[in-house]
Amino acid sequence: MIYEQELLKSTSFFVRELLQKVDKTKATIIIGIPKENQAVEKRLALTPETTALLVESGHQVLVEKGAGICINYPDNYYSESGAEIVETHREVMQADLILKIAPPAESEVEMMKSRATVFSFLQLAKMTQRTLELMSEKRINALAYELVLDKSGTSPFDTAISEIEGSCSITLAAELMSNAHGGKGIMMGGIPGVSPTEVVIIGGGVASIVAAKAALAMGALVKVFDEDVTELRNIQEKLGHSLFTSTLLPNVLRNNFRSADVVIGSMNYLNKTHFYRISADLIREMKKGSLIIDLRMSNGGCFETTMEACFGDHPTIFERYGIVHFCETNLSSRVARTASIALSNIFVSLFASLSDCGGVDLFAKLDRGFATGFYMYSGKMVNSYIANHFNFAVYDIGLFLSGFL
């Protein structure tokens, strides 16, 4: 009995020592939340609720003045959560880790300190060669939300935004087809004796599943196309085998474009060696007054007729060949508060793991899914898709991470 008590004391002491040792490895991070260009981007990466949890965990959070206005979180909400409100963009860009929505502009990279880490969405149309070169010179770590993977091999950030955009696309389609917005004056469906609206969805990802589900619930006739039969099978299993699905067969696609009232583009281009865009010839054959909604404007667009809208001050809504095109880069920014909460929720567990591992570098070494999120590590391009797009040399991130213990 005495032996057992002595053993228990020894074991208890040993466990406390281990816990103390783990606590010492926790990293305290200065996190910056800059104000986005709110004319085009209203989302924010952190809400006051998540900010409070991060501050409680020992992190310092800097929030630029007015950053949360567009999601109805005034500065005092953040300050009461423990964040420090800073007056200038330069101050917040001096943080160790910066959480943005849009990719950093050249002027923002100039404000960043050497070896800083920045999160953002990719939005390749907004990235420039010079900005990436400057990031390389300053040995920046850059991660894209779309590339960060969880244990299941999917991106939690991309999934959250795709769910929102898929749902929004059908709500928007119903709105734009009404007479109030100059549309054909038709409903999605569900009215006895009236033919349902035909919705064609190109692409088989999360956004497509949510859009198809929403359109079916409103009584529309939905057809989904994708090059991957596995994706199509997945959609049918989730939504029912009565759903029409097809691969991208030209004749089948053409016949369905001719009868479609709404076409939604949701093809995934990231990390793909080849991809498809819908030609202008197919769009010419659509019924006059039909609607196209492109959910992939941030990656160059799904249609030949929407590619031009990725650049400059091109209007969000325009008409080509009598077909209305809706091409907003950040559709989830229309429901910015919902999107911001969805993103912010993911950061709670991510920062807990990152802090427990001792910082960005050690977490990347231990978590393969997090490591795949880097497109630039210590100034070196480590994602082949982005490297090829901007003609950069590409490196294996594993070579850099092997030095961390």
Domain segments of the chain as ranges: 21-147+336-401, 160-329
Residue owning tokens 């800097």: 62
Closest CA to 223 of 178, 250, 272, 262: 262
Buried b (16+ CB within 10 A) or exposed e, 239-268: beeebebeeeeeeebeebbeebbbbbbbbb
Sign of the CA dihedral with 30 first, then 35, 41, and 45 last:
positive
pTM of the prediction?
0.87
- Structure-token pair, residue 355: 């802090």
Return the pLDDT at 190.
81
Fold of 21-147+336-401: Rossmann fold (3.40.50)
Return the pLDDT at 12.
37
Name the pairing type of β-strands 97-99 and 317-320: unpaired
Return the pLDDT at 16.
40
Local confidence pLDDT in tens for the 405 residues of the chain: 333 333 333 333 334 444 444 444 566 899 999 999 988 899 999 999 999 999 999 999 999 999 999 999 999 999 999 999 999 999 999 999 999 999 999 999 999 999 999 999 988 888 999 999 999 999 999 999 999 999 999 999 999 999 999 999 999 999 999 998 888 999 998 899 999 999 999 998 899 999 999 999 999 999 999 999 999 999 999 998 779 999 999 999 999 999 999 999 998 876 566 667 899 999 999 999 999 999 988 888 899 999 888 776 778 899 999 999 999 888 999 999 999 999 999 998 898 888 888 889 999 999 999 999 999 999 999 999 899 989 999 999 988 887 554
Helices 229-239, 206-217: axis angle to 10 degrees equals 40
Return the pLDDT at 404.
52
CATH no. of 160-329: 3.40.50.720
Buried b (16+ CB within 10 A) or exposed e, 329-365: bbbbbbbbbbbbbbbbebbeebbeebbbbbbbbbbbb
Cβ–Cβ < 8 Å for 374, 401: no
- Using only C-alpha atoms, the chain has a radius of gyration, in whole angstroms, of 24
What Cα–Cα distance (Å) separates residue 229 from each residue in 232, 247, 331, 351, 364? 5, 7, 27, 36, 33
Tell the burial category of 19 from Cβ atoms under 10 Å away from its Cβ (0-12, 13-18, 19+). exposed
- Structure-token pair, residue 164: 């929102």
What Cα–Cα distance (Å) separates residue 62 from each residue in 41, 46, 53, 84, 103? 19, 11, 14, 5, 19
Same fold, 21-147+336-401 and 160-329: yes
Return the pLDDT at 128.
92
